[in-house]
Amino acid sequence: MAIVRWKTDSRPQRHGWAPGEYIHARCVGQLCQELDDSSFIGAKRAIMCADCAYALPDPQSEQVVDPAPKLTQEKLIEMIKDMFRQVRQIELALEEFEDARDEADQHEIDPG
């Protein structure tokens, strides 16, 4: 009878690994792909052992290096003012259009 040894680890969650007390028959990680016995103990939904998960690139280093600049309150206020200016320009253009249409309608009605 063969003795089964399960890999155990208490490192924090990363990629498909999380510590726990469930027995998993097979690790899907690349380091364990060639092993016949890649059993491990981890969280219920863990899909790979800690060794394989920690062999993958650090998820923190994969984040965007140059994030978008933060929106300051002053910038937000300026954007809102600009939107109101644009809305006012549209309202004025609409008023001019309606005035021109009303004037054209008056010419059509007046026979003279």
pLDDT tens for each residue of 32-89: 876 766 889 999 999 999 988 998 888 776 555 556 667 788 888 898 999 999 999 9
Give the pTM. 0.50
How far is the CA of 110 from the CAs of 89, 104, 106, 107, in angstroms?
A: 32, 10, 6, 5
- Which tokens in the block code for residue 37? 């016995």
What whole-number distance in Å separates Cα of residue 80 and Cα of residue 48? 49
